[in-house]
Amino acid sequence: MLLFRTARGVRSMRPVRVPHPLVLLAALAALLLAAPMRAQRPRTPAEALARFEQVRDRGEAERRRAVDDLGDFADDQVTTVLVGELGRAQELGYRQAVVRALGRHERQGAVPALLEAFAGASNARLADSAAEALARQGEPGVAALAAQLGKERAGSSRWNSLCQGLGRAASPPAVKALLDQLRKVGGRDRLGPLRSLARSDDPAVAQQRLLLARDKDPLVAATALAQLAQHGQEQAPALALELHRRLPATASPEQHAAVVHGLLLAPDAARADALLASAALADDPFAAALQPLWRRALTDPAFASAWVGSATTRRRSGERAVAATALQFTDPAQAAAATTALAAMVASGDAEVVRAAAAALVVVAPERAEAALAPLVAAANDPLPAIALEALHAAKAGDAAWAAGLVQHATGRTPGLRAAALQLLASCPARDDSACLEAATAALGHKAWPVRAAAIELLVALRQPAGVPPLFARLDDEQARLRDDAASALAELTGLQFPTAAAWQEWWAREGPTFRVPPAPDRRREGRRSAAGTVATYWDLPVTSDRIVFVVDVSGSMNQPHGTGNLTRLDEARRQLLRVLQALPAKAKANVVAFATDAQGFADGLQPIDERRRKALTTWVEALEPRGATNVHAALQRAFADPEADTIFLLTDGQPSSGTIVAPELLLREVRRWNAGRNLRIHTVALGGRSDFLERLASESGGRHTVAR
């Protein structure tokens, strides 16, 4: 029978035929036996060829896995099969899969087929893959790349693909071919061979970099400078200062990043202002590779003094925030001056500066942090109390007195403070569960939704039977995201679902005295279930909010094929986005933020989804084109800037590669800071493959995660 679970029992809806138990057991056994065989990759060329023979006459979608398995082996017979498959491939996605399989090893006789694939490539990604595969074919592959390079138009996407292939080869003939092109072409066409030479230590390449670092084109000069700094060239600091002085106001973060790296190689008090100005505009100024340079710079008393002076006198918030972040690398001998400066910045009242200074102060002088941040906790204006509380929690989470203080702050004067205190209690190991239960229950009726959302999360974290009735008592009073929060919390704590508070009350009257909360599920593995009614779905994730920011990756990699057809990842992203925008009710508010090297919103904030705006959004989304890098930091920062939003859906097909913060661990930390007192849900879609970063981003905000292939 079809069964409907209510609580202790089940209720039948209609009869259905159930297979005999022996039939079910046989089917289960077959599945268990077959699963390992499908999951295990072949261990020998013969095994891989045998598996391919089983699917040779099937469609390309079914042959793709077998082709991928063949790519693990350099056997001549395997190569023959792969070359044959490349010749009969029809769909773009399958052709690219075969090219990648061929390129996994150096293979006898593969160069002509790969060169033909490159010549016939109608897609930039296929051209890239073919050039990369040729680069792995030893001297014949490099010779083919160099010969083809002379036939393509300089600066074209195909020409750049060939440059990248030669750069991956990195052999002396490949370096010579790239140097020849670099000397032959002019303008920004030089960027292709120059970037492809980034790893080379050849003296002739170094000489070209020195010449180009003074080029009149700032992008060419910055690219050359970045490579000089990467290789520790002694002229890099002086060239960096020269470039800083002539960079235009429109200079890119990439150009400023080159200046930062160059100046850090030889820190000088006289250059501190230039370093700070570029660091505030640079991509990833505190990347892991640069942190040792910051630490070394801040051991120099003269430089440290100049940096502290700049940190406290700059007018721009971004510059002061970057200056504060750098001070976390202060040498202990210079800590006193840094601590005084950070304390002054904490008192500035500028949220961006306060957030950076508070985080640095806890690192540099944890013993002074509480005295400096206590006035902010008592401040009357959000978000300053939440910022201070979150920074202190990083150092004091295991302190029972601190946990007791958080309970008191849960009844504080501002909604941001209350919400942040409740949020932090959910992850506080030293908390008093009874006191927390009382605080969370009281907060469920607060007029500010972030406070109620944080209270629901705390009740889930406490996992106490007494936390269940307050949750179902709120069900009929909440709507949209908050109703889903409450219903999902009840589902997680009980394993059950009921449609109304009255139904829950009836169950509780029967089961309450003996009810025990089951063990906590693995949220990263299972995700957060949606228990309330949904208004739409997005990439198969339920949409329960009516105040949403959709954040969509439009970087260059979104031009890759999606699935086995001819659609790109961006094509499918557009389709999914337009579908959900059409499904949202008229009362909903939404915005779309598209991001690549930077982030751009359809509007400055959430917009009512009426017919006029649906049409405008459709036009805007359809015009999106893939380009640039993957600046997740800017995208999320833009989404968090909207005070109305309560939910973010983030879609990306790659790891962060540009922006103020690139390292996933540091970016996760920054998002936690932004979300203190805000309680935004972040649901994530990993397009193309699994992403630990996206899984954690969703899990840490109570969101859901999915992988779309």
Q: What is the pLDDT of residue 532?
A: 56
d(CA 486, CA 168): 53
Q: What is the pLDDT of residue 530?
A: 60
Phi, psi of 211 (to 5 degrees): -65, -45
pLDDT-based confidence at 33, cuts 50/70/90? very low
Task: For the chain, count helices (H), then strands (E).
Answer: 36, 11
d(CA 422, CA 428): 10
Q: What is the pLDDT of residue 19?
A: 43
Q: What is the pLDDT of residue 24?
A: 41
**Tokens representing 533?**
């009614």
Q: Which CATH class is domain 536-708?
A: alpha beta
- Amino acid making up residue 166: L
d(CA 222, CA 228): 10
Q: What is the pLDDT of residue 534?
A: 62
329 burial via Cβ count (<10 Å: 0-12, 13-18, 19+): buried
Phi, psi of 688 (to 5 degrees): 105, -20
Residue 13 has pLDDT above 50, yes or no: no
Q: What is the pLDDT of residues 433-492, one digit of tens each?
A: 999 999 999 999 999 999 999 999 999 999 999 999 999 999 999 999 999 999 999 999
**Tokens representing 345?**
């910045």
Phi, psi of 553 (to 5 degrees): -70, 125
Which residue, among 68, 89, 157, 55, has the nearest Cα to 566 in the 3D structure? 89
Q: What is the pLDDT of residue 31?
A: 41
d(CA 206, CA 231): 9
Residue 36 has pLDDT above 80, yes or no: no
Exposure class string for 547-583: b at 16+ Cβ within 10 A, else e: bbbbbbbbbbbbbbbbebeebbbbbbbbebbeebbee
Instruction: List, in sequence order, the alpha helices (H) in 6-44.
Output: 21-39
Minimum mean pLDDT range among 97-101, 308-312, 319-323: 308-312
d(CA 196, CA 660): 24
Mean pLDDT along residues 487-510: 94
**Tokens representing 420?**
């942040």
For the chain, the average pLDDT equals 91
Q: From the CB of residue 228, how many other CB atoms can be counted at a distance below 10 Å? A: 25
d(CA 514, CA 512): 6
pLDDT-based confidence at 26, cuts 50/70/90? very low
Q: CA–CA distance from 293 to each of 161, 235, 286, 352, 454 (Å)?
A: 34, 16, 10, 24, 40
Do the beta carbons of residue 128 and residue 143 sit within 8 Å?
A: no
Domain boundaries, the chain: 3-39, 477-526, 536-708
Q: For residue 25, what are the contacts with CB-CB under 8 A and spacing of at least 6? A: none
Q: CA–CA distance from 255 to each of 192, 196, 297, 319 (Å)?
A: 16, 17, 21, 17
d(CA 600, CA 222): 25
Do the beta carbons of residue 234 and residue 264 sit within 8 Å?
A: no
Residue 95 has pLDDT above 70, yes or no: yes
Q: From the CB of residue 12, how many other CB atoms can be counted at a distance below 10 Å? A: 10
d(CA 84, CA 133): 16
Exposure class string for 42-69: b at 16+ Cβ within 10 A, else e: beebeebbebbeebeeeebeebbebbbb
**Beta strands 536-538 and 681-687: pairing type?**
unpaired
pTM of the model: 0.86
The verdict on whether omega for the bond into residue 383 sits within 30 degrees of 0, i.e. cis, is yes
Q: What is the pLDDT of residue 527?
A: 56
Q: What is the DSSP letter of 568?
A: B
Do the beta carbons of residue 658 and residue 283 sit within 8 Å?
A: yes
Which residue, among 670, 431, 438, 639, has the nearest Cα to 551 in the 3D structure? 639
β strands within 402-508, DSSP E:
none
Residue 25 has pLDDT above 50, yes or no: no
The torsion region of residue 495 among left (phi > 0), alpha (psi -120 to 50) and beta comes to: left
Q: What is the DSSP letter of 683?
A: E
Phi, psi of 330 (to 5 degrees): -60, 140
Do the beta carbons of residue 403 and residue 432 sit within 8 Å?
A: yes
Do the beta carbons of residue 650 and residue 684 sit within 8 Å?
A: yes
Q: What is the DSSP letter of 153?
A: P
SS3 541: strand
Q: What is the pLDDT of residue 92?
A: 86
Q: What is the pLDDT of residues 185-216, one digit of tens each?
A: 999 999 999 999 999 999 999 999 999 999 99
- Amino acid making up residue 278: S
Place of tokens 């693990």: 72
**Tokens representing 268?**
């000088």
Rg over alpha carbons for the chain, rounded to the nearest Å, is: 29
